[in-house]
Structures are given as C-alpha cells and as structure tokens.
Amino acid sequence: MSSATLIDRFGRRIEYLRLSVTDRCDLRCVYCIPEGFKDFEEPAHWLTFDELERLLGLFARLGLKRVRFTGGEPLLRRNVTELARRVASLPGIEDLSLSTNATQLAPHAEALKAAGVTRLNVSLDSLDAERVARINGRPVLGQVLAGLEAGRAAGFAPIKINMVAMQENVDEIDRMVEYCIDRGFILRLIELMPMGDTARKMGYVDLQPIKEQLRRRFGLVDALLPGGGPARYLATPDRRFTVGFITPISQHFCDTCNRVRLTVDGVLHLCLGQEARVEFRPLLRGGASDAEIVETIRHAIDMKPERHEFRDAPEKVLRFMNMTGG
Ligand code: SAM
C-alpha cells in the first residue's frame, strides 16, 4: 500500500483525527446545541464500531497517530469504552484522548483509562453552580466536579479544562486559574467560534488582552506543550501552572493545522470552519475495498482548505459544534 504519510496541498502532515462518536449531548450550552433541537443523526446512520475500527485502521496505515473522541457528549455513546479499547489497539495509533463535559465521567473514568485513553479535556465554563445551569443549560456543576476528581484519581494526565470565554464568565478567569493551580489542571481559554446561530449571536471575547493580563499577574512565560493542538501556552517558570489560549478569531492557527474530523455518520470534515467534506459511509456499507477507501482518504486530504474564515465570513458555518465535534 501507499507510503505512510498524509500531506495536504499546503505541506501540512495530517496525523490527528477527532471522532465525534455521537452528536447527542446531555447539555444545552448557550453557544452550541439550541434548546429544542431535534435534528440529530439517525442511529441507523451511526458508523458501527466495526466500521470505525476499519476506517481508522486505514487512516493509521496512512500515518494517523492521534485520535480524540468528542461529540456531542462522547460518554453518551453506549459502550464507548469498548470503542476506545479497539481504537487504542490499532497499529500506529500512539495517543487516544477524550473531550467530555464530565457529567458522566465518574462512573467511566477507570474503565476508560484501562481501555487506553490517556488524556482528558473537560469543559468547564464556570465554577458557580447557577452560572453553569444558565450557560450549560443544566444544573450539573456538582457532577462535573465529581467527574474531574474521578479523572484525577484514575490517573489521567494531563487533564485540561476548556473554558469558553464569554461576557458572562470573563470575571471568573482568575478564580478558574486558582482552581486549576490547586488541582494541577491545565487551563485552556477558548474564543467563541461563530458556528451555528447560537454562537454567532453571542460574539466573542478577544483573548489577547486577557493573555497579557495573566502574563503580568502570574509572571507567565511562553511554554510549549506536546500534542500538536492549536493552543498557545504560557506557564509559570516552575511549570506549576500552564494556561493555553485557543484564539481562532484573534489569531488563527491554520498554518499548523494537522487534523481532520469525522462525524458519527461517517462524514470527514476537512476544516472546522469550511464545508469541505467527504462521505465514507456509502463506501463502508457499499462493499468498497481497502484500496478504494485509502484512495478516498488521500483525495479528501487533498481537499483540505488552507484556512477557516471565521473572521471574514462568520455566516459561513451553519452546523453547530456538536455535529462536527469540537
Ligand atoms: N461534550 C464534549 C465536551 O464538552 O468537551 C465534546 C464536544 S464539545 C462541542 C467540545 C468543546 O467545544 C467544548 O469545550 C465546548 O465548550 C466547545 N464549543 C462548543 N461550541 C463552541 C463554539 N461555538 N466556539 C468555541 N467552542 C465551542
């Protein structure tokens, strides 16, 4: 079979895939799935574990090294631990991580760790119970904090806290910093991306001034973290605290983008902020050979856009984040 690299037209090596294992979620964050939303993918269209294992196995033969389960809320997919075990065992896959809202993490943490998930990203927009209920649509702060403690006890490292910066929670950033220092978590502050109507209506908080304030207040210096993600990191000189900034709007990071995203129904999105996509379900269910699927993967990578246009064309992406996976 062809050589083990996937390089796009702009010379970027694609070795990271985010898999949305379900588009459903138990939360209704103000910037994501709207209350009352019903247009979820039909279960008959969800790629099965066998289909996912085959497809990701072929990606891995072409140089895929890292996979992250996301969603929707990945822990809502039944037997997700079994899927984790299968993906983590694929030859070539070096790293399996999970993005979760942690509401269901406590009962699953140990099994996920044993299955081969090593790293966790947990969404936490506030440490105030009422705010969480308002921003995330459900009163779940207690459950999320319990999930985080279970994740820590199970030995996940690092655990990163994803906080989307909004007018409603910027006053809490210092408190979140203290919380992360206490627990040994890495904080990541995220600019709201204009995905779907919900987020577009809210506007974003520019993280550049906040970054400079934190730099001064905590004496932070530039830091590098392995993992190839989009965040730019700062840390205290003793590395006791690290904070990352994901700034798709104020400073995009497309030139180093190494990732693609696969939806639960088998659509490969080549860019979070563009419509370029390729469907794999018809191939997987239509008897395509491995060689045909490999050729389609290569063709898809050739379609990867140079960059998103969240700033210049914010009206462009109609889907919500749960569909593509954050
Ligand atoms: N439910 C899982 C979780 O909470 O991590 C995985 C999916 S969720 C869509 C992934 C991340 O995307 C979350 O941290 C969420 O806050 C973030 N997110 C959702 N919509 C967003 C938007 N419009 N802009 C920026 N981040 C967004």
Per-residue pLDDT reduced to its tens digit, 156-184: 999 999 999 999 999 999 999 999 999 99
Residue where the block lists tokens 């969800």: 46
Give CA–CA dist 226/261, Å, rounded.
Answer: 20
Q: Tell whether the model's pLDDT for residue 255 goes beyond 50.
A: yes
pLDDT in the model for residue 172? 97
pLDDT more than 90, % of the chain: 80
- Residue 318 CA, ligand 1 centroid: distance in Å: 15
Give CA–CA dist 195/269, Å, rounded.
Answer: 14
pTM of the predicted protein model: 0.94
- Residue 326 CA, ligand 1 centroid: distance in Å: 5
Q: Is the minimum distance from the CB of 70 to ligand 1 under 6 angstroms?
A: yes
Residue located nearest, by CA, to atom 17 of ligand 1: 326
CB 121 within 8 A of CB 160: yes
3-state secondary structure of 28: coil
| Nearest ligand 1 atom, CA 125 | 16
Look at phi and psi of residue 92 and say left if phi exceeds 0, alpha if psi is from -120 to 50, else beta. Answer: left
- Inter-helix orientation angle 141-154/105-115, to 10°: 30
- Widest pairwise Cα distance in the chain: 59
Q: Tell whether the model's pLDDT for residue 109 goes beyond 90.
A: yes
Question: To test the ligand 1 pocket, which listed residue (108, 138, 188, 321) has its Cβ within 8 A of the most ligand atoms?
Answer: 321
User: What DSSP line would sit under 133-157, residue for residue?
Assistant: HHHHSS--HHHHHHHHHHHHHHT-S
